[in-house]
């Protein structure tokens, strides 16, 4: 049985960096599931058809990391048929030996409810805005509004809203360096393995 690690949390909480590091450390595959929604939003046209026809090229577009792509992603992510179109790909990815780390919003709750480890990574709004602003080279106040907007949409949607699975371990990275956050996550995983 492959070992599945589900990592969920709001935007810029550090979940992506943690997921990559954990996958590298344990020799597991890693999928940033936000990219699927970003590519769907960026593709334009009918979002359901876009989700059904995602290609490797769509996922490699250089503009997917922008704030605009993040907002477009969270709008298409609220459409149940878009989410349905992406479930199968994510579950197949998760089933790879020897294991996989998937990060997103609904991995522990919907995509992989039987994951061996579930982490819910959070940080204060301010800490998340400062990190994201540093990545994008912009102002933290402007980023803060966008993050709140996106988190509100992600948490309040009817289908697969952002929320911790009941059996998720909470990891608050507010006062932690990225190195410390990764070490905590590693020890949580090692405790289960």
Contact 84, 164 (CB under 8 A): no
CA–CA gap between residue 138 and residue 129 (Å, rounded): 10
Does the annotation flag 163 for ligand binding?
no
CA atoms within 13 A on the CB side of 158: 3
Does the annotation flag 12 for ligand binding?
yes
Strands 29-32 and 117-122, how do they pair? Answer: unpaired
By beta-carbon proximity to ligand C5P, the closer residue of 167 and 190 is: 167
Assess 47 for contact with ligand C5P (CB under 6 A): no
Give the number of other CB atoms < 10 A from CB of residue 124.
13
Among 100, 132, 146, 154, binds ligand C5P (CB under 6 A): 154
Assess 132 for contact with ligand C5P (CB under 6 A): no
Assess 34 for contact with ligand C5P (CB under 6 A): yes
Does the annotation flag 13 for ligand binding?
yes
For residue 136, what is the DSSP state? H
By beta-carbon proximity to ligand C5P, the closer residue of 10 and 99 is: 10
Assess 33 for contact with ligand C5P (CB under 6 A): yes
Does the annotation flag 24 for ligand binding?
no
Contact 102, 152 (CB under 8 A): no
Among 50, 77, 123, 165, binds ligand C5P (CB under 6 A): 77
Q: In a 3-state reduction of DSSP, which class is residue 168?
A: coil
Region of 55-63, 68-76, 117-125, 168-176 interacting with ligand C5P (CB under 6 A) = 68-76
By beta-carbon proximity to ligand C5P, the closer residue of 146 and 182 is: 146
- Please give the sequence-ordered ranges of beta strands (E in DSSP) within the chain, or none if there are none: 3-8, 29-32, 99-104, 117-122, 169-172
Does the annotation flag 50 for ligand binding?
no
CA 83 to chain centre: 14
Q: Annotated binding site: which residue ranges?
A: 9-17
Binding residues for ATP, as ranges, are 9-17
List residues binding ligand C5P (CB under 6 A).
11, 33-34, 37-38, 70, 73-74, 77, 104-107, 150, 154
């Amino acid at each position: 049985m492959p070992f599945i690690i589900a990592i969920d949390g709001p935007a810029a909480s550090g979940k992506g960096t943690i997921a990559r590091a954990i996958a590298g450390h344990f020799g597991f595959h890693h999928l940033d599931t936000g990219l699927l929604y970003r590519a769907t939003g960026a593709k334009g046209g009918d979002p359901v058809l876009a989700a059904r026809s995602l290609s490797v090229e769509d996922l490699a577009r250089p503009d997917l990391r922008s704030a605009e792509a993040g907002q477009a992603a969270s709008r298409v992510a609220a459409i149940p048929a878009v989410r349905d179109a992406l479930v199968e790909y994510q579950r197949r990815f998760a089933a790879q030996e020897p294991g996989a780390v998937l990060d997103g919003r609904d991995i522990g709750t919907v995509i992989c409810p039987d994951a061996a480890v579930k982490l819910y990574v959070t940080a204060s709004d301010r800490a998340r805005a400062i990190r994201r602003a540093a990545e994008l080279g912009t102002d933290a106040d402007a980023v803060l509004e966008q993050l709140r907007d996106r988190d509100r949409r992600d948490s309040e949607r009817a289908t697969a809203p952002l929320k911790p699975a009941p059996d998720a371990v909470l990891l608050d990275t507010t006062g932690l360096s990225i190195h410390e956050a990764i070490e905590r996550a590693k020890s949580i995983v090692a405790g289960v393995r």
